[in-house]
Amino acid sequence: MEEKDNLPKTDVSRDGQKPVVQKKYTIGLLVSRSNKRVKKYLTGLLDLADCCEDGVVVVFSLKGISRERQVINGYLYNASERKWEPATFSIPDAIINRISLKRKWVQYFEDTVGCNMINNFTFSKWDMYQWLSKNPNFNKYLPLTQIITEPKVIIDFLEQYKEGYIKPINGSYGKGIYKISKEDEIFKLDVSRDRKKTQSMYVNYEELTEYFRKICKRRNYIIQQVIDLYVVDRPVDFRLITVKNGLGEWRDVGLLARKGVKGEIVSNTGVVKNGNSALQNVLSIRRNEAIELRKKMIDVSLEAAKEMERYGGPNGNLGNLGFDLAIDRNKNLWIIEINHRNPRHRMAVDAGESGMYVQANKLMMDFAITLAKAEGQ
């Protein structure tokens, strides 16, 4: 913290000019590893930047940071013209992080901003399972999951469960997911790639072993128990938006339902709807059952958020999460995934629930402002 305290707080210069903005605090949005990718995110960040009325908002990448000079090249939000402008600035007082961080960067931000980074550590699907499964309060909500260290893990899993989902441990948006099943000596692989239609292939033992030996060299994968989420041959799951408010307290912002395309193995390519009504209508359950399930989703998710924060250690600070949840045919609740890098709350707009999106941005910025003001005191 000593290095940062020697810097002029909230000094910002445009295009090499002298500082032109002097305000109380600066909120940084870390959105990419490389400078090239920052520009593509700028338009989508305008709504979040608008939530900060009396501070400076800047956007940057890891590549834009000069660790020696403790300054950053990025973009400054010009609120009066509602646009981003190239700028150089000191380390922000608080940061909203939207990317995965390697250990060296976790340490760097801990040294420079302390706990003032929202989502200041990274965890994979496997990390989440390992941590939560140790706790009996959460283990019952987790599909059985194993890390694939070699193709034999897949074979052994199918001997017991007949089918499973194979997922990249750091994947997102439903990309690169396989559904695998076994019948006699033949294995069926359904593959989800981006937004393209699921492709199926049939392989024998040797072909399966060779195929996964190759892909597991490039990425790490898990195999996960299949939960029966299907309603009339369509996968249905739920996204619970959870964000901390200005007091640092977790809040339930809203529930969305995602109904996938018929025959697909993921719900990401389907329709997004209001989750509260979908609980009752899509799952065809009574109103009181839907209310009870909704409450359970909130209670379990908010406690799981607190538990994952403990995974980050004494300085771990989460504040922006999206829980992927499922209800099976027996009305059991399952935690499929916790999204923390960029939960994409904008999907609420697709469901006609722009209020959720606005509230999520406001709460997130309020929390960042609280952290920044505490830093400046």
77-89 per-position pLDDT tens digit: 999 999 999 999 9
Q: Whole-angstrom Cα distance, residue 138 to residue 219?
A: 27
For the purposes of burial, counting CB atoms within 10 Å of the CB of 104, is it exposed (0-12), middle (13-18) or buried (19 or more)?
Answer: exposed
Q: Which region holds residue 16: left if phi is over 0, alpha if psi is between -120 and 50, else beta? A: left
Tokens 């400054």 -> residue: 76
69 pLDDT higher than 50? yes
Which CATH code fits 145-224? Answer: 2.20.140
How is the chain split into domains, by residue range?
2-118, 125-140+229-376, 145-224
Homologous superfamily of the 125-140+229-376 domain (CATH):
ATP-grasp fold, B domain (3.30.470.20)
Dihedral sign of CA atoms 334, 232, 344, 106 in order: positive
pLDDT reading at 310 higher than 60:
yes
Q: Is 85 within 8 Å of 76 (Cβ atoms)?
A: yes
- What global pTM score does this model have? 0.88
227 alpha carbon, distance to own chain's centre = 21
Q: pLDDT for 155-200, tens place per residue?
A: 999 999 889 999 999 866 557 788 999 888 899 988 876 555 667 8
pLDDT computed for residue 39 by the predictor: 93
Q: Looking at the domain that runs over 2-118, which CATH code has it been given?
A: 3.40.50
Residue 105 confidence class, pLDDT cut points 50, 70, 90: very high
Q: How far is CA 128 from the centre of its chain?
A: 12
Strands annotated E in 106-185:
117-118, 145-147, 163-168, 177-183
114-169: pLDDT as tens digits? 999 999 999 999 999 999 999 999 999 999 999 999 999 999 999 998 899 999 99
Average pLDDT of the residues of the chain: 88
7 confidence band (pLDDT: 50, 70, 90): very low
DSSP 204-256: -HHHHHHHHHHHHHHS-EEEEPPP--EETTEEEEEEEEEEE-TTS-EEEEEEE
Rg of the chain taking only CA atoms, in angstroms = 22
Domain 125-140+229-376 in the same topology as domain 2-118: no
Per-residue pLDDT, averaged over 226-241, amounts to 79
Rounded CA gap, 41 and 171, in Å? 19
